[in-house]
Structure 1
Amino acid sequence: MKRLYFVLLLAFASQAIYAQSLCTGTVSDSDGNPMIGVSVYEKGTTRGTVTDVNGSYSLECSADAILVFSYVGYATQEIELEGKTELNVVLLEGITLADLEIVGSRSLNRSVTGSPVAIDVIDIREVTNSVGQLDLNQLLQFAAPSFNANRQSGADGADHVDPATLRGLGPDQTLVLVNGKRRHQSSLINLYGTRGRGNTGTDLNSIPAAAIERIEILRDGASAQYGSDAIAGVVNIVLKSSADEFSGNVNLGVHKATDNGDKNFDGENLQLNGNYGFKVGDGGFVNVTLDYWDKGRTNRRDPGLYRQQFGDAQATNFGAYFNSRIPISKNAHFYAFGGTNFRKTDAFAWTRDPGSSRNVLSIYPNGFDPHIVSDITDKSASAGIRGDLNGWDVDFNHTFGANRFHYYG
């Protein structure tokens, strides 16, 4: 009887050994190059492996197994062995990243991956439709992770000109270019503990977003090339150059408010803008933009806070901008761009209570909320001739910029 059990055990063991076999082979792409790290496993089991640096694999599997070959970006293949012990496979490219459909408000291909430094290229038309912001500072705040521009309240002139920064450094350490030419800074020096205290930055909101085609942001120090004002990085604003094409926008918006008297909203926004380009000569153009924006104030007063008014300033802004290029010969052209912007702002300062030394009790027996009112005028122009001179790229340019910040109240 024991001998019978022993014979039966050997028979079953032989059958199990016969059922398992070693399958080997290679995996390559359509060009014949070996593929490393391809997943190879027997369908319906937990047996599997990956290809080595030579694209080779070996796997213990049953004689009639179905092997599955899969790799990211390539079409998965399922092949039945049919008793074979060697199986060489060629994987074909399947779905790639370019075939993915992106939905939602995520930014696709914002960063330039082929550059040795970190560069963001932001299409203003796409960003405007996705983030719901009207001024350039807030558009970049939502579109570029390295860019920061927070609206201030009770911070003197910073309520009227948002101090913008790159990578957390000072506003005067970010170089702003327009069509590759330096942009002048604001006449405001930031004070009172606001962001960039003691710095003077560039007023990006003086450039209408409707006049811009794209914005290129170099998110790395570039002081070796541009100077010390590019320690944080460089923002290059490229103006529109379209011709025989009109684009316009009418934007409306409000902010929800919970403690605003009879209204449950404030900060009403109205923006009107239009852009049109004219053809000039053979390949030349003149592109013009007009922009009007009116923004109401908001109040987010905390009952436990000393101030009675706390929120965004009221502002009315009008801007006009142009960009042009006119060919003057086969290898040279004249270019000019610039514009003007006027902004009238009204912001609340710290409340003066009746007993304050800064209050005249006979005039304001209950105290008062002082206003900081300003007129901000910005002008700029840049013109030059660019072309090819005996194999050299030459550019003769002159740029002018002025900013006037006038307080009154």
Structure 2
Amino acid sequence: MSGADKESEPADTGLGVYLHVPFCRQPKCPYCDFYCTAAGPGLIESYLDAAEKELEAQAAGPFSGEWVVENIFFGGGTPSLLDPKQAGRLIRRVQALWPVSASPEITLECNPEDLTRDRAEGYRAAGVNRLSIGCQSFDSPMLAALGRSHGVDRNYRAVEAARLAGFERVSIDLILGGPGSGKSGLLKSVEAALALKVGHLSIYGYHLDPAASGYGRPEFAPAPDESYCEQYLAVCAALEEAGWLHYEISNWAALAEEVCRNNLHYWQRRVYLGVGPAAHSFLPPAWRTWNRPDLSAWLLASAGGDYVAVRGGERLGPEQIEGERLMLGMRLADGVDIELVRRFLGPEMERELAGLAGEGLIGPQTGGRIRLTDNGYLLYDSIVALLLGESGFQLDKGC
């Protein structure tokens, strides 16, 4: 990155670190399209060695400077396949390479079946202070339909283990729109999560990418669009009634301090470093890089200290930067500045916004900002296309 690029970066020095743990129990869940592989003999130790080397290379290269680590996130894959000492090893390496804020958020994603009280206590002692538990559902038939290996009882025991270990920040992942799902089953899961008094919920829409093993198989087909929309709006209403903050399309927090800082680094286009195969990094305002999803190639690159063969990247142009700001900003409850929309729509803006408001897809323009309603979130892709002024756009109907 050139000196001119560095001068154009914002003064924000907060750094997020994402550690992609590319291991999972095989076979993968039929809907999963994230890069992961089986943890064969010695592979986890090889991964840890390589991750440390990549952290060191990045700290000496593009991520050198006055960065202060605000959050560390273990994602995957299944990060809870790392034992506490292994997770702690990478946390300590990050702490040795960069200054760390006084109260960093350090999250580890875990499967319910991995989380015992002893293991949770080990993670906490290693420096993890937030757990994201992949419960996915509190409805037994839905867990079976999703191909999950755990039962509802493991969800409860995992959250209990986290609490007994002293974790104050616990998040639960749920899935909406899964095979054969309906509003009542999803609301049952939301009610169970609320009763457990966790502070954060990520509720992601089920979909099947061609890379997923369940793709094209009728038994794993998602719920019809009408049911998906009904489920999403029911969840939005239930959590609003409970007083939760709907701060992003798929994420809710019981209190402002429970908002996931790691995710905000992505959506607010702040600095983040991704380590591991398939991990992505971003240096504002324009540089995006990524590692290819190939563990073997990444291990070889780390051993030799040369990442050219496994790393891709691009420098965004001015219009791409503005488009990203709009696209990512519209995911958030705070929305985007109306002047950003004006740059794309020009004199057509007032007419287009009036149309969206008339359909109930955007809310009042308070503070000069454009925000999606819950109904608008259901048409996020189409509305963003409209706001970007893409030619030939027509508003989707049906939800």
Between Structure 1 and Structure 2, the one with more helix by share is 2
TM-score relative to the length of structure 2: 0.24
Which structure is larger by alpha-carbon Rg, 1 or 2? 1
Between Structure 1 and Structure 2, the one with more strand by share is 1
